[in-house]
Amino acid sequence: MDKQNKAKDELKFLGKKIVNKINKKENPFIEFRVRGLSNVSYDKTTKKLTLGSNLAKRHFFNVAHSKKFLQTVEVASICKNLLEEGKHASLRDVFYMAKRTIPNTKVNLVDEQKETDKSIEDLELITNLSREQMYVNANKMGSVVGKVKITDRGDKINWAKLGSGGWAIPSNVEDIKFDEVKAKYIIYMEKQAIWERLHEDKVWEKLNCILVTSQGQTTRGIRRLLQRLYEEHKLPIYILTDFDPWGFYIYSVIKYGSISLAHMSDKMAIPGVKFLGIMAEDIEKYGLNKHLIKLNDKDVSRLKQMVKYEWFEHNKEWQKQFKMMKQLGSKAEIQALSARGISFISEKYLPEKIKKKEFID
Amino acid sequence: MDKQNKAKDELKFLGKKIVNKINKKENPFIEFRVRGLSNVSYDKTTKKLTLGSNLAKRHFFNVAHSKKFLQTVEVASICKNLLEEGKHASLRDVFYMAKRTIPNTKVNLVDEQKETDKSIEDLELITNLSREQMYVNANKMGSVVGKVKITDRGDKINWAKLGSGGWAIPSNVEDIKFDEVKAKYIIYMEKQAIWERLHEDKVWEKLNCILVTSQGQTTRGIRRLLQRLYEEHKLPIYILTDFDPWGFYIYSVIKYGSISLAHMSDKMAIPGVKFLGIMAEDIEKYGLNKHLIKLNDKDVSRLKQMVKYEWFEHNKEWQKQFKMMKQLGSKAEIQALSARGISFISEKYLPEKIKKKEFID
């Protein structure tokens, strides 16, 4: 409830500043930091992608600004209402709530969702609140299992007692209370099928870890869940993805933050995560050579981009991975380990890598 | 355990028939019903898409058949091993387990996953087992909440006590035991964001129903879960999708089965499900006119196909929906209801439609 009031106050403060300008008959404006690569840099100390201090102003009496100005104010007002009602909306909901014709004109306040999406990102910058704190939720997706007990919306939930399904991770994990965390570390994987494999083999019980998955891209809800467990309970996090540029980038986003959400790095990036696999050395070692898949053009160009990223540029281990992938001209999937037996990953690959601490930082 | 043995016996029986042929020095073959639209029809009595009785034979000594013959036998052997080990695999796993070079040749047994996928579908036809019964799992995705208690892998799980996340639906729900089902009906929706909205508004508690969601296409795990609750606990099921051809088809697949899986209709189709919305009449009634989205070319051609489907052809209500969509030249999203207020769907739309029984059959 405190957090809710704090967020509401931030939005009210924004409104008051605008009203004050109007009362003084001055041109109202909103000020926030410029987003985009030109204002993004890699901070070597915090090891996060961070947004620079270049500022942009948006004035009401400026033909190029006034529509965006209105949109931002409208979305701020929608968020304030959400906070007052104590209800969460999706990005799509916010779009429909903002979508209407400006009175006495034929102009719609917004025509496409990307306009309200942008306004919400702007509001994150202006207010320093995450969109989750403004009660706008990301996509819900993913499951978790492990020796952890939580309280959520008044329900006591034991992640270790949820059968084959596990707990469905909500889009917003800000209000979850961790009651007991017995697990010692987290393995995050990009594939649901691997999660089901490891869960059936009771890997979380044998290794006393938490297994987390989404499907493909890591949602904001999951990133925040990982970060909270990392920061509040000091749990190491290991990332398990395919050996391909997209898998590497999943790791990169979780660890350093993403370019488009650089302003959110403090709330989202987890500098301590480590990459567990699949790495180039595994291919020889675990006999995956026969199961390599040729890199396609998209893979190759993505790989070239990754090599040059500031945060990978001076990292010898990662440069070695990129180089070996280029030399092989191939990628490999986690599931290729199944060729060695369905539970090879649970009984051999994971325990061995974790015991020997074969991680990339 | 009984089901597991029954499935294993089916696969062993297949193997024995082949071995017998070999011992008699005859050409071994596998026989199964032809799949594809030519052998699919709509059964007016059961109201399901069903597979006809046209048979195909696949011989070992036939250049056009022998590779597929080998693939099918290999996949059958992989499934038998899974059943013996009591472990579940994903489609991708089965592919990697089958992928190897045939000794003394340069020929791979399989080169692409679609080959093993096809073999598994063939095996479903040959053995009359679903792939879940052969321990090959579909994708895991989706969440559920409501007054239901289950036992799964020895864990007692209460779907009503799982916080904001709900229970993550596993890819295989065959072994779930329903201990207590207090809910009176099910609302299935295609969108996670709507599920979170209804959950936050406690719709499942107020209306005493179960809320189920996937994201987009309904997974086999979810379809089986719906079917089991429908058949074993006589729960009515109402489908909530966008007003567009794709939403209608989600309903069609759940109700009648899909063309590609017509042989699975008995295990998957649920003839009693009803369509709750968004329907054409809602647009006027709930003021969604301003939030219509123009049909694109893909939508239009999909709509044309739907109109002609045998199972919709003589259904006046559905033909009316198709006609009105065509006249409007537009589709509408569920989230458009948010324009009327974030909880309009929970407080007005759903209770009203359900009370008045405004469904399409």
What pLDDT is recorded for position B258? 81
Q: Do the chains contact at A143 and B168, CB–CB below 8 Å?
A: yes
Count of CB pairs separated by less than 8 Å, A with B: 189
Q: Which domains are assigned to chain B?
A: 2-27+62-137 (1.10.10.10), 143-355 (3.40.1360.10)
Task: Give me the count of residues in chain A.
Answer: 361
CA-based torsion, B116, B121, B122, B126: positive or negative: positive
* pLDDT given at position B2: 78
- Kind and range of the H or E run holding B49: strand B48-51
Put simply, whether the predicted model's pTM sits higher than 0.80 gets the answer yes
Residue A243 carries which DSSP code? B
State the smallest CA–CA distance between residue A341 and chain B in angstroms.
7
Given a cut of 90, whether residue A204 has pLDDT beyond it is: yes
Catalytic residue among B42, B96, B230, B238: B96
What integer is the mean pLDDT of A331-339?
91
Which of chain A's residues have a Cβ under 8 Å away from the Cβ of B87?
200-201, 342-343
User: What DSSP string runs through B303-330?
Assistant: HHHHHH-HHHHT-HHHHHHHHHHHHHTE
Query: What is the model's pLDDT at position B264?
Result: 80
Q: Band of the pLDDT at A139, cuts 50, 70, 90?
A: confident
- Report the residue of A140, A169, A204, A288 to disrupt the B interface, i.e. the one with the largest count of B CBs within 10 Å: A140
Average pLDDT score, chain B: 91
Q: To the nearest whole angstrom, how far is the Cα of B69 from the nearest Cα of chain A?
A: 21
* Beta-carbon separation of A335 and B139 below 8 A: no
The DSSP bridge partners found for residue B155 are B152
pLDDT in the model for residue B3: 82
Q: Which of A42, A96, A251, A286 is catalytic?
A: A96
Nearest CA in chain B to A150: B163
CB contact under 8 A, A89 and B291: no
pLDDT value of residue B339: 87
* Phi–psi pair at B308, nearest 5 degrees: -95, -10
Strands A185-189, A209-213: pairing is: parallel
The pLDDT value recorded for residue A280 is: 96
- Please state, in angstroms and rounded to a whole number, the distance separating the CA atoms of residues B38 and B119: 20
Is residue B268 within 8 A of residue B223, CB to CB? The reply is: yes
Task: Please tell me which residue of chain B has the smallest CA distance to A163.
Answer: B152
Geometric angle at alpha carbon A76, from B200 and A257, rounded to 5°: 80
Residue A216 C-alpha from the chain's centroid: 12
Question: Hey, of A80, A90, A243, which one would you mutate to test binding to chain B, going by the most B CBs within 10 A of its CB?
Answer: A90
* pLDDT attached to residue B44: 85
Tell me the residue length of chain B. Answer: 361
Q: Are A163 and B143 an interchain contact pair (Cβ–Cβ within 8 Å)?
A: no
- Strand-pairing partners, residue B310, are none
| Mean pLDDT value across residues A144-151 | 97
| Cα B59 to chain centroid, rounded | 31
Q: What is the DSSP letter of B108?
A: B
The reply to whether A286 belongs to the active site is: no
Place of tokens 């008699």: B24
Q: What gap in Å lies between CA B115 and CA B72, rounded to an integer?
A: 9
Three-class secondary structure of residue B235 per DSSP = coil
pLDDT computed for residue B42 by the predictor: 84
Helix (H, G, I), strand (E, B) or coil at B274: strand
**B133: which residues sit within 8 A by CB, 6+ positions away?**
B3, B7, B174
Torsion of CA B9, B14, B16, B17, to 10 degrees: 140
Which chain B residues have a beta carbon less than 8 Å from that of A89? 197, 338, 342
The confidence score (pLDDT) of residue A56 equals: 87
Report residue B258 as tokens: 């899909």
One-letter amino acid identity for B137?
N
Among B82, B152, B290, the residue with its CB nearest the CB of A342 is: B82
**Integer angstrom CA distances of residue A183 from A163, A175, A221, A274:** 18, 20, 20, 17
Closest alpha carbon to A244 in A347, A336, A348: A336
Phi-psi region of B2 (alpha: psi -120 to 50; beta: other; left: phi over 0): alpha
- Look at B157 and A163 and tell me if their CB atoms are within 8 Å: yes
Who has greater pLDDT, B268 or B173?
B173
What is the nearest CA distance from A58 to chain B, expressed in angstroms?
Answer: 27
Q: List the beta strands (DSSP E) in chain A.
A: 29-33, 40-43, 48-51, 55-59, 89-90, 136-137, 143-145, 148-152, 155-158, 167-168, 177-181, 185-189, 209-213, 237-240, 274-277, 293-294, 330-331
Which tens digit of pLDDT belongs to each residue from B210-228? 999 987 678 888 999 999 9
CB–CB of A98/A78 below 8 Å? yes
ipTM: 0.83
Candidate from A219-223, B137-141, B155-159 with smallest mean pLDDT: B137-141
The more confidently predicted of residues A265 and B94 is B94
C-beta atoms surrounding B105 within 10 Å: 8
Judging contacts by C-beta atoms under 8 Å, the chain B residues touching residue A212 are: none
Q: State how beta strands A185-189 and A237-240 pair.
A: parallel
Q: A interface mutation test: which of B94, B111, B174, B196 has the most A CBs within 10 A?
A: B196
Tell me what the mean pLDDT of segment B30-58 comes to.
85
pLDDT at residue A208 is higher than 60: yes
For residues B282-312, one letter each, b for 16 or more C-beta atoms within 10 angstroms of the residue's C-beta and e for the rest, the string is bbeebebeebbeebeeebeebbeebbebebb
Of the candidates B278, B295, B274, B252, the one whose C-alpha atom is nearest the C-alpha of residue B333 is: B278
Distance from CA of B157 to the nearest CA of A (A): 6
Smallest CA–CA distance, residue B314 to chain A, in Å, is 36
pLDDT at B147: 98
* B102 DSSP 8-state letter: P
Helix (H, G, I), strand (E, B) or coil at B22: helix
Distance CA B335, CA B345 (A): 9
Of A24-33, A53-62, A261-270, which gets the smallest average pLDDT? A261-270
Asked if B152 lies within 8 A of A164 by C-beta distance, the reply is yes
What is the number of other CB atoms lying within 10 angstroms of the CB of residue A182? 11
pLDDT of B1 higher than 60 = no
Torsion of CA A238, A243, A244, A245, to 10 degrees: 40
pLDDT for B103: 86
In this prediction, residue A134 has a pLDDT band, given cuts at 50, 70 and 90, of very high
pLDDT digits (tens, 9 = 90+) for A272-303: 999 998 999 999 999 999 889 999 999 999 99
- Confidence at residue A46, expressed as pLDDT on a 0 to 100 scale: 83
- Cβ-nearest to B88 among A163, A196, A333: A196
Burial of B334 (0-12, 13-18, 19+ CB in 10 A): buried
What pLDDT does residue B48 have?
85
Helix, strand, coil percent content, chain B, rounded in steps of 5: 45, 20, 35
Considering only A275-279, A299-303, B100-104, B304-308, which range has the smallest mean pLDDT? B100-104
Average pLDDT across chain A, whole number: 91
pLDDT bin (cut points 50, 70, 90) of residue A1 is: low
At CB < 8 A and 24+ separation, what contacts does B1-7 make? Answer: B3/B133, B3/B174, B3/B175, B4/B83, B4/B86, B7/B79, B7/B83, B7/B127, B7/B129, B7/B133, B7/B134, B7/B135
Chain A residues closer than 8 Å to B346 by CB: none
Minimal Cβ distance to B165: which of A100, A168, A342: A168
